[in-house]
Amino acid sequence: MLKNAADEGVLSQSGEASGSPTAHYALGTRLTATVSSLSAALLVLLLLDPNRIGVFITFANLSAFSAIADLGLTYSFLLATSSRPTKDDARALAGAAVVVLIPIVMGTSGILFAGGAAFMHEGGVPSARWFWPWLGYCVLTGVYQLMLLAVTFLEGTGHRNVAWRAYLAVELASGVTLLLLVTLREELWALPGGVVARICIVVALFAARDEMSGLWAVCSIRRGLLSWRNHLWPMQWKTVLNNLSGLLTTRLLTPFLLASQGPATAGRVGLILSLGIAIIGTTTAWPLSHTALYVSLYHQGRTKELISSFRSTCIRSTALSMLFCIGAGALCEILRLSSPHMAARLPEHGTLWLILAVSPLGHLSASFAIFLRSRRQDPVVFPNLLLALPALISLWLAAHHSTLVFAGVYWLAGLLFMMLYGWYWRRVVADAVSGRIL
């Protein structure tokens, strides 16, 4: 049985730990996203006036909430399929995922549209500018969440390289579409256009694959709900609460500034916030690409290999995060010195560096979270929520004070979140080494 499972690819994930290009694809994926974001930011700085910049950055940050449009189901599906001994066992969960995901994305798309509309209205943005692009984005991102199950299934059943090659292709197509539409000064249509490109790539790559046979066969509603409740929901609710906490304390910040200090300030500070978040997303892709491997090692009881693999990845990816942070800050300073046009569109020095300094802290928090969730548990979910609420209130108040105070509160919040996740990670590792878990 073990041999058959290994042949199918589920247990072969551990064999990909050495010499695998998965990490390269993952970094390439996030680097592509970062380059696209930076290029788009430079284009809007050069082509648009400050008010349009602020609206675009707000639009982009609100669109990030589509990451939880599935309410954590996709990540829970990845963890569940990675722990299954055979591909047939993993495929049985796919029908349950489809049954539950369809109504979820329909509901969350409506909520996302309403929330974005509220911020746009509060910021005084005419509805003629944002209504149709925002509606298109909300609808299309729900469709993409359904298509993404195919890629997640392949990653969870051992085909990590195939999955991350697909993610790279998706990001390239989306980035090209984004930059093309921004260049044409259709910046608010750039994000829905990018989602269309993502959907087309996923369909082109996976529609005819043998591994996808039967994946979209929706089971009965009763059977699907029962399977979802037993195998997906226990981790799903924790995932969505943590993701929501992270989004609220990062992606709501530019809308906060838009509502409190206007589009121009939101554009200047929001640009650096988006840059810092892009750095976190880029470097976190390295440990994130090892999620299926970590789950497989944990469920096989290979504790030492799990800890060793994580430590190596975490150290190297954190160093990369620090390098990106310093490089991004230096680039912004060069742009400020070389052009009065750019200087008027960038925040002051203290604000810039405090915000960028959060990137390594955010990277460590995300890395520790990936390790903890590889056990299909999450002990940090409630402490994380308890910390998120005062952090969010503090950031809202700071946004009404000054950008420097706002940046200082943002850095302090990042430090506290990193310390929280680090404390739980150290405790779990200590228990694993002493044999109290696994």
- Segment 46-64, tens digit of pLDDT: 888 777 887 888 888 788 7
Q: 65 with 247: CB under 8 angstroms?
A: yes
Which domain range does residue 134 map to? 19-434
Rounded to two decimals, the pTM is 0.68
- Domain membership of residue 13 (yes or no) is no
Q: What one-character-per-residue DSSP string does 143-204 give?
A: HHHHHHHHHHHHHHTT-HHHHHHHHHHHHHHHHHHHHHHHHTT-HHHHHHHHHHHHHHHHHH
How many structural domains are present in the chain? 1
At residue 221, the pLDDT reads: 67
Q: Which amino acid appears at position 396 of this protein?
A: W
- Domain membership of residue 414 (yes or no) is yes
- Domain membership of residue 8 (yes or no) is no
Dihedral class, residue 20 (left if φ above 0, else alpha if ψ from -120 to 50, else beta):
beta
Lowest mean pLDDT among 320-324, 426-430, 434-438: 434-438
Q: What is the DSSP letter of 125?
A: -
At residue 378, the pLDDT reads: 81
Q: How confident is the model at residue 87 (pLDDT cuts 50, 70, 90)?
A: low
328 pLDDT exceeds 70? yes
- Domain membership of residue 350 (yes or no) is yes
Query: Can you tell me the distance from the alpha carbon of 369 to that of 382, in angstroms, rounded to the nearest whole number?
Result: 13
Question: CA-CA distances (angstroms) from residue 399 to 62, 80, 119, 391?
Answer: 17, 40, 15, 12
At residue 200, the pLDDT reads: 92
Instruction: For residue range 377-394, list pLDDT tens digits in order.
Output: 788 888 988 899 999 999
SS3 27: helix
At residue 3, the pLDDT reads: 34
- Domain membership of residue 219 (yes or no) is yes
Instruction: For residue range 163-219, list pLDDT tens digits in order.
Output: 888 889 999 999 999 999 999 988 889 999 999 999 999 888 876 666 555 555 555
- Residue pointed to by tokens 């994305």: 105
Q: Which amino acid appears at position 105 of this protein?
A: V
Q: What is the DSSP letter of 68?
A: G
What are the φ/ψ torsions at residue 166 (nearest 5 degrees)? Answer: -65, -45
- Domain membership of residue 396 (yes or no) is yes
Which residues, in sequence order, are CB contacts of 416 under 8 Å at separation 6+? 387, 391
Q: What is the DSSP letter of 67?
A: G
- The tokens for 420 are 């929280």
- Domain membership of residue 309 (yes or no) is yes
- Domain membership of residue 151 (yes or no) is yes
